[in-house]
Structure 1
Amino acid sequence: MNEHFFQCPYCWETISMLIDTSIRQQSYIEDCEVCCRPIQISVHCVENTINDFVAEPIQ
């Protein structure tokens, strides 16, 4: 597990989440811990390292 910091696409606060880097491709919805709005998270990992991370607002 790796802690990853990013900005919420709604409130722009820096938040963090734990990413299981043993899973190569992940996509899920997580609520912002500050403003509680839903964020679409997409993660691609290679060799237990986060290669690509996208946090987008739900449309």
Structure 2
Amino acid sequence: MEEYFFTCPYCWENISMLFDSSISSQSYIEDCEVCCNPIQVSVTFSNAELLDIQVVSIGQ
């Protein structure tokens, strides 16, 4: 598991999540640890290296 930081699309705070870099494609819906709004986070890894991270607010 590796920790990655990104900006919440609601409150603009810098937050982090742990991802398993051995899984090439992952998608999660998690609540922001600061403002508690739901965020969809998608990550792509290749050879345990982060290729892409997408952080999207879930419409309210």
Number of aligned residues: 59
- Return the offset for 1:30: 0.7
Q: Hey, what does 1:17 align to over in structure 2?
A: 17
- CA offset digits 1:3-59 (Å, max 9, x no partner): 100000000000001111100000110110000000001100000111100010002
Output the aligned Cα RMSD: 0.6
CA distance in structure 1 between the partners assigned to 2:5 and 2:43 by the alignment: 13
- Between the two proteins, what is the percent identity of the paired residues? 59
Residue aligned with 2:50, SS: strand
CA distance in structure 1 between the partners assigned to 2:58 and 2:22 by the alignment: 26
The answer to whether the aligner puts 1:46 opposite 2:46 as a matched pair is yes
CA distance in structure 2 between the partners assigned to 1:17 and 1:26 by the alignment: 12
Q: Hey, what does 1:32 align to over in structure 2?
A: 32
